[in-house]
Amino acid sequence: MSPRDWLVGTVVSATQQTPNAKSIVLDVPGWHGSTAGQHVDVRLTAPDGYTAVRAYSLASTGPGQQVELAVDLIDDGEVSPYLVEELRAGDQLEFRGPLGRWFVWKPEQTAPVQLIAGGSGVVPLLAMIRAHTAAGSSVPMRLLYSVRSPSDRFFADELVAASGVDLTLVYTREVPDGWPMAPGRVTKELIASTTTPATANPAVFVCGPTGFVEAVASALVDLGHDPVSIKTERFGGS
Protein backbone atom coordinates (compact mmCIF):
# COMPACT_ATOMS: atom_id res chain seq x y z
CA MET A 1 0.00 0.00 0.00
CA SER A 2 1.54 3.27 -1.14
CA PRO A 3 0.45 6.74 0.04
CA ARG A 4 -0.31 7.37 -3.65
CA ASP A 5 -3.05 4.72 -3.76
CA TRP A 6 -6.64 5.87 -3.25
CA LEU A 7 -8.43 4.34 -0.28
CA VAL A 8 -12.12 4.29 0.57
CA GLY A 9 -13.21 5.19 4.08
CA THR A 10 -16.67 4.95 5.59
CA VAL A 11 -17.83 7.90 7.64
CA VAL A 12 -18.34 6.83 11.24
CA SER A 13 -19.27 10.25 12.56
CA ALA A 14 -19.34 13.90 11.58
CA THR A 15 -19.23 16.26 14.56
CA GLN A 16 -19.78 20.01 14.57
CA GLN A 17 -16.60 21.66 15.89
CA THR A 18 -17.46 25.31 15.26
CA PRO A 19 -20.43 26.93 13.48
CA ASN A 20 -18.40 26.52 10.25
CA ALA A 21 -16.44 23.35 10.79
CA LYS A 22 -16.83 19.64 11.37
CA SER A 23 -14.56 16.81 12.37
CA ILE A 24 -15.06 13.62 10.40
CA VAL A 25 -14.06 10.18 11.62
CA LEU A 26 -13.62 7.49 8.97
CA ASP A 27 -13.11 3.78 9.23
CA VAL A 28 -10.52 2.74 6.68
CA PRO A 29 -9.63 -0.92 6.23
CA GLY A 30 -6.00 -1.12 5.15
CA TRP A 31 -4.94 2.18 6.72
CA HIS A 32 -1.52 1.88 8.30
CA GLY A 33 -1.61 4.95 10.52
CA SER A 34 0.10 8.31 10.26
CA THR A 35 2.69 10.53 11.88
CA ALA A 36 1.40 13.60 13.73
CA GLY A 37 1.17 16.58 11.38
CA GLN A 38 0.59 14.66 8.14
CA HIS A 39 -2.25 15.29 5.71
CA VAL A 40 -4.37 13.43 3.16
CA ASP A 41 -5.78 14.25 -0.26
CA VAL A 42 -9.57 13.91 -0.31
CA ARG A 43 -11.22 13.17 -3.68
CA LEU A 44 -14.87 13.81 -4.52
CA THR A 45 -16.40 12.39 -7.70
CA ALA A 46 -19.54 13.78 -9.38
CA PRO A 47 -22.00 11.60 -11.35
CA ASP A 48 -20.35 12.61 -14.65
CA GLY A 49 -16.94 11.51 -13.41
CA TYR A 50 -15.69 15.02 -12.61
CA THR A 51 -13.39 14.99 -9.60
CA ALA A 52 -12.16 17.61 -7.16
CA VAL A 53 -9.25 16.97 -4.78
CA ARG A 54 -8.10 19.02 -1.79
CA ALA A 55 -5.63 18.41 1.04
CA TYR A 56 -6.73 18.22 4.68
CA SER A 57 -4.64 17.80 7.80
CA LEU A 58 -5.23 14.76 9.97
CA ALA A 59 -6.28 15.27 13.57
CA SER A 60 -5.63 11.60 14.17
CA THR A 61 -2.24 9.99 14.54
CA GLY A 62 -0.55 6.69 15.17
CA PRO A 63 -1.66 3.17 14.19
CA GLY A 64 -5.22 1.95 13.80
CA GLN A 65 -7.70 2.09 10.97
CA GLN A 66 -9.68 5.11 12.14
CA VAL A 67 -8.82 8.43 10.56
CA GLU A 68 -10.02 11.85 11.71
CA LEU A 69 -10.09 15.01 9.59
CA ALA A 70 -11.35 18.42 10.60
CA VAL A 71 -12.62 20.70 7.87
CA ASP A 72 -13.35 24.43 7.98
CA LEU A 73 -15.97 25.63 5.50
CA ILE A 74 -14.63 28.01 2.87
CA ASP A 75 -17.52 30.06 1.50
CA ASP A 76 -16.56 29.87 -2.16
CA GLY A 77 -14.91 26.49 -1.77
CA GLU A 78 -15.74 23.44 -3.84
CA VAL A 79 -14.88 20.56 -1.54
CA SER A 80 -15.20 21.96 2.00
CA PRO A 81 -18.94 22.85 1.68
CA TYR A 82 -19.64 19.24 0.70
CA LEU A 83 -17.59 17.83 3.59
CA VAL A 84 -19.07 20.20 6.17
CA GLU A 85 -22.69 20.38 5.01
CA GLU A 86 -23.44 17.21 3.05
CA LEU A 87 -21.30 14.32 4.21
CA ARG A 88 -22.90 12.12 6.89
CA ALA A 89 -22.35 8.86 8.73
CA GLY A 90 -22.39 5.87 6.41
CA ASP A 91 -21.13 7.80 3.36
CA GLN A 92 -18.00 6.69 1.60
CA LEU A 93 -15.10 9.05 1.05
CA GLU A 94 -12.02 8.53 -1.10
CA PHE A 95 -8.66 9.75 0.03
CA ARG A 96 -4.96 8.93 -0.06
CA GLY A 97 -2.07 9.39 2.28
CA PRO A 98 -0.60 9.93 4.73
CA LEU A 99 1.33 12.69 2.94
CA GLY A 100 4.11 15.07 3.97
CA ARG A 101 7.22 14.28 5.97
CA TRP A 102 8.31 17.79 7.00
CA PHE A 103 5.62 19.33 9.20
CA VAL A 104 5.57 16.32 11.55
CA TRP A 105 6.38 15.57 15.18
CA LYS A 106 7.49 12.16 16.44
CA PRO A 107 7.53 11.09 20.09
CA GLU A 108 11.23 10.22 19.86
CA GLN A 109 12.05 13.92 19.37
CA THR A 110 13.49 15.28 22.60
CA ALA A 111 13.42 19.08 22.16
CA PRO A 112 10.65 21.03 23.91
CA VAL A 113 7.76 21.68 21.54
CA GLN A 114 6.01 24.99 20.99
CA LEU A 115 2.84 24.81 18.92
CA ILE A 116 1.20 28.00 17.61
CA ALA A 117 -2.13 27.80 15.78
CA GLY A 118 -4.53 30.21 14.15
CA GLY A 119 -8.12 28.97 13.63
CA SER A 120 -8.36 25.60 11.87
CA GLY A 121 -4.54 25.51 11.85
CA VAL A 122 -4.84 23.73 15.17
CA VAL A 123 -5.78 20.44 13.47
CA PRO A 124 -2.29 19.05 12.70
CA LEU A 125 -1.08 20.44 16.04
CA LEU A 126 -3.84 18.55 17.84
CA ALA A 127 -2.45 15.41 16.20
CA MET A 128 0.92 16.26 17.78
CA ILE A 129 -0.72 16.73 21.19
CA ARG A 130 -2.49 13.39 20.79
CA ALA A 131 0.78 11.70 19.79
CA HIS A 132 2.51 13.26 22.80
CA THR A 133 -0.23 11.98 25.12
CA ALA A 134 -0.37 8.53 23.53
CA ALA A 135 3.39 8.10 23.92
CA GLY A 136 3.38 9.37 27.50
CA SER A 137 6.08 11.78 26.40
CA SER A 138 7.69 13.92 29.08
CA VAL A 139 8.89 16.50 26.57
CA PRO A 140 7.41 19.92 27.50
CA MET A 141 4.73 20.86 24.97
CA ARG A 142 2.92 24.20 24.81
CA LEU A 143 0.16 25.46 22.53
CA LEU A 144 -0.66 29.08 21.80
CA TYR A 145 -4.04 29.01 20.06
CA SER A 146 -5.57 32.08 18.42
CA VAL A 147 -9.28 32.07 17.53
CA ARG A 148 -11.82 34.76 16.74
CA SER A 149 -14.30 33.86 19.45
CA PRO A 150 -15.09 31.09 21.96
CA SER A 151 -17.36 29.30 19.46
CA ASP A 152 -14.53 29.17 16.90
CA ARG A 153 -12.39 26.84 18.99
CA PHE A 154 -11.77 23.41 17.46
CA PHE A 155 -11.63 20.46 19.86
CA ALA A 156 -12.22 22.87 22.75
CA ASP A 157 -12.99 20.30 25.43
CA GLU A 158 -10.16 18.00 24.46
CA LEU A 159 -7.61 20.82 24.43
CA VAL A 160 -8.67 22.11 27.83
CA ALA A 161 -8.56 18.60 29.26
CA ALA A 162 -5.22 17.62 27.71
CA SER A 163 -2.89 17.26 30.66
CA GLY A 164 0.34 16.99 28.73
CA VAL A 165 0.13 20.37 27.04
CA ASP A 166 0.27 23.88 28.46
CA LEU A 167 -2.52 25.78 26.64
CA THR A 168 -2.77 29.54 26.10
CA LEU A 169 -5.89 30.77 24.31
CA VAL A 170 -6.04 34.12 22.54
CA TYR A 171 -9.33 35.59 21.31
CA THR A 172 -9.05 38.14 18.53
CA ARG A 173 -12.67 39.38 18.26
CA GLU A 174 -14.75 38.18 21.20
CA VAL A 175 -13.73 36.82 24.60
CA PRO A 176 -15.69 34.53 26.97
CA ASP A 177 -17.52 36.10 29.91
CA GLY A 178 -15.11 36.98 32.67
CA TRP A 179 -12.00 36.58 30.47
CA PRO A 180 -9.15 38.67 31.89
CA MET A 181 -7.96 40.03 28.54
CA ALA A 182 -9.55 42.23 25.89
CA PRO A 183 -9.79 40.68 22.42
CA GLY A 184 -6.62 41.20 20.44
CA ARG A 185 -4.22 39.71 17.94
CA VAL A 186 -1.17 37.62 18.73
CA THR A 187 1.68 40.11 19.09
CA LYS A 188 5.40 39.69 19.57
CA GLU A 189 4.97 40.72 23.21
CA LEU A 190 2.30 38.09 23.74
CA ILE A 191 4.47 35.43 22.12
CA ALA A 192 7.38 36.47 24.32
CA SER A 193 5.29 36.15 27.48
CA THR A 194 3.36 32.95 26.71
CA THR A 195 5.64 30.66 24.70
CA THR A 196 8.81 28.65 25.22
CA PRO A 197 11.77 31.03 24.91
CA ALA A 198 14.40 30.68 22.21
CA THR A 199 16.98 29.91 24.91
CA ALA A 200 15.24 26.55 25.48
CA ASN A 201 15.76 25.66 21.80
CA PRO A 202 12.21 24.43 21.19
CA ALA A 203 10.97 22.82 18.00
CA VAL A 204 8.31 25.28 16.84
CA PHE A 205 5.32 24.44 14.65
CA VAL A 206 3.16 27.28 13.33
CA CYS A 207 -0.02 26.60 11.35
CA GLY A 208 -2.76 28.96 10.27
CA PRO A 209 -3.82 31.52 7.67
CA THR A 210 -0.96 33.05 5.70
CA GLY A 211 -1.04 36.47 7.38
CA PHE A 212 -1.10 34.89 10.85
CA VAL A 213 1.82 32.57 10.10
CA GLU A 214 3.87 35.35 8.48
CA ALA A 215 3.41 37.59 11.54
CA VAL A 216 4.08 34.85 14.09
CA ALA A 217 7.12 33.40 12.32
CA SER A 218 8.68 36.87 11.91
CA ALA A 219 8.09 37.62 15.58
CA LEU A 220 9.69 34.31 16.58
CA VAL A 221 12.80 35.11 14.53
CA ASP A 222 12.91 38.59 16.11
CA LEU A 223 12.72 36.91 19.53
CA GLY A 224 15.85 34.91 18.76
CA HIS A 225 14.50 31.59 17.49
CA ASP A 226 16.69 29.94 14.88
CA PRO A 227 14.71 30.07 11.60
CA VAL A 228 15.54 26.41 10.93
CA SER A 229 13.78 25.42 14.18
CA ILE A 230 10.49 26.96 12.99
CA LYS A 231 8.30 24.80 10.75
CA THR A 232 5.34 26.48 9.13
CA GLU A 233 2.20 25.52 7.30
CA ARG A 234 0.15 28.31 5.69
CA PHE A 235 -3.23 28.28 4.03
CA GLY A 236 -5.40 30.73 2.14
CA GLY A 237 -4.50 33.42 -0.36
CA SER A 238 -2.54 36.56 0.29
Q: Contact positions toward other proteins, by CB under 8 A?
A: 3-4, 6, 8, 44-47, 49-55, 78, 82, 86, 91-94, 99-103, 210, 214, 217-218, 220-221, 227-228, 230-232, 234-238
For the CB of residue 216, give the shortest distance to other proteins in the complex, in Å.
9
In angstroms, how far is the first alpha carbon of the chain from the final one? 37
Nearer to other proteins, 159 or 191 (CB): 191
Question: Which residues contact residue 201 at a Cβ distance below 8 angstroms, ignoring those fewer than 6 apart?
Answer: 111, 112, 226, 229
Nearer to other proteins, 147 or 213 (CB): 213
Nearer to other proteins, 168 or 210 (CB): 210
For the CB of residue 20, give the shortest distance to other proteins in the complex, in Å.
19
For the CB of residue 21, give the shortest distance to other proteins in the complex, in Å.
19
Nearer to other proteins, 169 or 232 (CB): 232
For the CB of residue 238, give the shortest distance to other proteins in the complex, in Å.
5
Residue type, 213: V
Residues 207 and 217: their CA atoms lie apart, in Å, by: 10
